[in-house]
Amino acid sequence: MIALDKKIVRISKDLPPMLTGLPKRMGKSPRIDIRYPCLQLEDTAQQNLREELLRSAKRLAGVVVQPTELSVPAMALVMDEALAEGQPEAFIRGREFTLIRTDGSVHLPLMPEWGEQVLKTGWACIHPLVRYMAGALPPQNLIVYAPRDEQELEVVWRIVQASYCFARGWIVNLDNRGEPV
């Protein structure tokens, strides 16, 4: 819970603003390898799109981008301890709340009701380890497909911002730096 403009904002099952009006992802969903580390097998992101996603992530308040502690080819978005007020399920490991993988896909948890919207619009799949190793990961862990162009990058960024809000424990509109507006 945080105070914003003298108004209390709490985490909610309602969709956060960045997930409302998500466009439907066009085309066929890419295949994800069911074997760990479950990378995307086709339609991977061009390097410049992945780099832009990492640059944007570095501007989020209280976030450091560093190699993940997991044995996965990815950079982790790690939240400052003082800001990490989300549920334990909002994090992948420690304070890592999002992994931007070398293929351009993104592993992140979302509140189940939020994840449902992302799945329904075709931007992600449930992480294969959730399906094949029940209990290895909480069920709200998703793999968001790698962006194929700048327009898709904007949508993927919106989903990453929702993961940030989930890890922070709140729902608000964010500016470019991840500050409430």
Cα dihedral 117/39/164/25 (nearest 10): -30
Q: Which domains occur in the chain, in start order?
A: 2-168 (3.90.1150)
pTM recorded for the entire structure: 0.87
Confidence tier at 65 by pLDDT (50, 70, 90): very high
| pLDDT for 14 beyond 80 | no
Give the other-Cβ count within 10 Å of 91's Cβ: 21
pLDDT digit string, tens, across residues 83-104: 999 999 999 999 999 999 999 9
From residue 88, alpha-carbon distances to 47, 140, 155, 159 in Å are 31, 12, 25, 19
CB atoms within 10 A of CB 169: 17
C-alpha closest to that of 163 among 30, 16, 13: 16
Per-residue model confidence (pLDDT) at position 68: 97
Would strands 2-4 and 7-9 be described as parallel, antiparallel, or unpaired?
antiparallel
Residue 73 is encoded by which pair of tokens?
Answer: 């080819």
The predicted-structure confidence for 109-161, as pLDDT tens digits, reads as follows: 999 889 999 999 999 999 987 876 666 566 689 999 999 999 999 999 999 99
Sign of the CA dihedral with 76 first, then 83, 125, and 19 last: negative
Give SS3 for 154. Answer: helix
